[in-house]
Chains A and B, each alone.
Chain A
Amino acid sequence: MTGEPWGPSADGLDQPYWDGLTRGELRLQRCGKCETWIWGPQWVCGSCHTLDPNWESVTPTGTVYSWSRSWYPFITELADRVPYVTVLVELPEAGHRRVLGILTGDDTDAIRIGDPVVGHIEHDEGATWPLLRWRRSTEGAQA
């Protein structure tokens, strides 16, 4: 898979995010002045209005805020994956900011809001950019 419709924006705003994935890190923005976590990528902190937020590495551990299982191949490049589950994951370590990702593993059927998940970075064969994906976590799972 080459020429996928994702990767750094032409204006360079989110280049550190993609560079982080290449280095095996999830990076999100955080204001250097008021320390507010920011996502999606922005040129300015919406809290104190300082320009050019920093990028910080975040441990990809969180809980499912919502999810949807896609059956229709809306994205041609992912047609061979349907049905797949996209999770929206809340990250306590990053000010409860939420990030998206595809859920992998053999136990995606029973996914529920509130489930703990752990992120990992996958580099699909032939793809230009690695991506953040999620697995259900057995540690600390809620009863």
Chain B
Amino acid sequence: MSALTMRGAAAVVGVSELHYRRGEAPAGELRMTLEAILAACSDAGISPRELDGFVSYAGGGHDGAVIGGALGVDDVRWSNMMWGGGGGTVAAAINNAAVAIAAGQAECVVVYRSMAQADTGRLGYAKYHYGPHFLAHGVGSPAQVCALRTQRLLEHDGVPRETMRALVLAAYRHAQNNPTAQGYGKPLDEATYESSRLITEPFHLYDCSRESDGAVALVLVSADRAKSLRPDPAYVLAGAQGAPGGYSSIIDNDDQYATAGFAGATGRPGVADRLWAAAGLGPDDVDVVQVYENFSGPAVAALIDHGLAPSGPAAGEVLTVDNLTAGVGKLPVNTSGGNIADSFVNGMGLAVEAVRQIRGTSTNPVAHAKTSLFIGGPMAPLVSSTLFAHEDVL
């Protein structure tokens, strides 16, 4: 199956996202998952019984048999868990659903993720997620692994630290228009950002993602079916996943150390290159971006990897608060407030916002958005991106 087989073959027709302050979920992960899937099916105008594909990522035991059984589906035809670290595979999960539909393996696929602190604790402090050759040297959290790579990006490559701050401040600016964002009503200024406590250098508190309880679901169907369901499907124009061999998986000995994993090895196309090639578009064609910010630095690296900003000191000319703000700048990023200022259910809420931009229903809408890029968790051992598009782009 060539990349063209997948181009526009499937579309997101239903979305739902529930989020609560961490530790305050009204129910466990399974019930929240089911509630989100029901709401996404309702949004799509389909019966939950029609679901025949089930995809998730980053672990959890709620596979297609469990969810399909609970919902009384007619058939389970596709049940996949994406391998890879944490949120790196969130976009890959959406791509996987599109692949299943394009290849005729399933017709109606739901992609979902749920997190409740009471069930699985907190990702940021996922103790002993890393092996003994990290732990022995004081590195036991994704924050620290990403901090080491980000420090190289800043100090060696010369990307200004202010780019991280700009990403965070733009997210908070967007959140002021989003009543369901956890940062709503809490504007953030430069001084507060700069004076917040250090977590692991170069990250201050505000450089770190929130963690929320909640559940998110997206329902995908074929392009033909999508047209019959609603006027504004968000087509999966292209998707890519992976990383150069060894990236972030050989105890910090990978060659693309200060990238977010989307860049290719020398002379070879990377995840971002493959995404653009499959879409037949490039970074200049993107109207709006949702980039997973586990931490601000990796998100900056991910934007650079995708060619949305130059590397080195010049990154500071593109990654400014105004330029990242919807309605103001040319590169609107994280228009719901993102993982930092809206909510964090392992980054999947960003995919819902990417779909809202195609529908024109974001609280920070980008006028006439036809292409909406979703970049999954950066600096994970396996990363992924999805480019959504309006029907006009097909």
Seen from chain A, the residues whose Cβ lies within 8 Å of a Cβ on chain B are: 4-7, 9, 14, 39-42, 46, 65-72, 74-76, 78, 81, 83-84, 86, 88, 97-102, 112-113, 129, 131-132
Contacts and interface: CB of A to CB of B under 8 A. Distances in A.
A86 B144 contact: yes
B140 A75 contact: yes
B257 A75 contact: no
Nearest to B149: A66
A71 B138 contact: no
Contacts of B136: 4, 6, 100, 129, 131
A72 B199 contact: yes
Given A5-B132, A9-B132, A68 B252 contact: no
B251 A39 contact: yes
A5 B201 CA distance: 24
A74 B141 contact: yes
Given A78-B138, A100-B137, A102-B138, A68 B132 contact: no
A41 B201 CA distance: 27
A131 B127 CA distance: 20
A100 B148 CA distance: 10
A7 B70 CA distance: 44
Name the residue in A66, A67, A131 with the highest tally of chain B Cβ atoms < 10 Å from its Cβ: A66
A34 B288 CA distance: 48
Given A6-B133, A66-B257, A99-B251, 19 more contacts: A5-B132, A6-B135, A14-B132, A39-B250, A40-B253, A66-B155, A66-B156, A68-B144, A68-B200, A70-B144, A72-B200, A74-B127, A74-B138, A74-B144, A74-B200, A78-B138, A86-B144, A113-B156, A131-B137
Interface of B: 125, 127-128, 131-141, 143-144, 147-149, 151-152, 155-156, 197-202, 246, 250-253, 257
Given A75-B140, A86-B138, A86-B144, A67 B133 contact: no
Nearest to A82: B138
B124 to A, nearest CB: 9
A63 B252 CA distance: 15
A71 B147 CA distance: 12
Contacts of B202: 68
B199 A40 contact: no
A82 to B, nearest CB: 9
Given A66-B257, A86-B139, A113 B151 contact: yes
21 contacts: A4-B136, A5-B132, A6-B132, A14-B132, A39-B250, A39-B251, A40-B250, A40-B251, A41-B133, A42-B250, A66-B156, A68-B151, A68-B202, A70-B139, A70-B200, A74-B139, A99-B251, A100-B134, A100-B251, A100-B252, A129-B136
Nearest to B246: A46
A102 B358 CA distance: 48
A5 B200 CA distance: 21
Given A39-B253, A66-B148, A68-B200, A86 B137 contact: yes
A49 B330 CA distance: 48
Contacts of A46: 246
Contacts of B257: 65-66
A126 B135 CA distance: 17
B156 A102 contact: no
What are the 10 closest A-B residue pairs judged by CB atoms, nearest first?
Answer: A40-B251, A6-B132, A6-B136, A100-B137, A68-B147, A66-B152, A74-B141, A75-B140, A69-B201, A71-B198
A71 B137 contact: no
Nearest to B152: A66
Contacts of B131: 9, 40
B368 to A, nearest CB: 42
A75 B134 CA distance: 11
Contacts of B251: 39-40, 98-100
Contacts of A71: 197-201
Nearest to B133: A40
A40 B135 CA distance: 13
Name the residue in B132, B134, B139, B200 with the highest tally of chain A Cβ atoms < 10 Å from its Cβ: B132
B319 to A, nearest CB: 21
A7 B132 CA distance: 6
A58 B354 CA distance: 50
Contacts of B200: 68-72, 74
A69 B134 CA distance: 14
Contacts of B198: 69, 71, 83
Nearest to A77: B135
Contacts of A39: 250-251, 253
Contact of B252 (A9, A72, A98): A98
Contact of B151 (A67, A76, A100): A67
B125 A74 contact: yes
A100 B133 contact: yes
Contacts of A76: 127
A76 B138 CA distance: 10
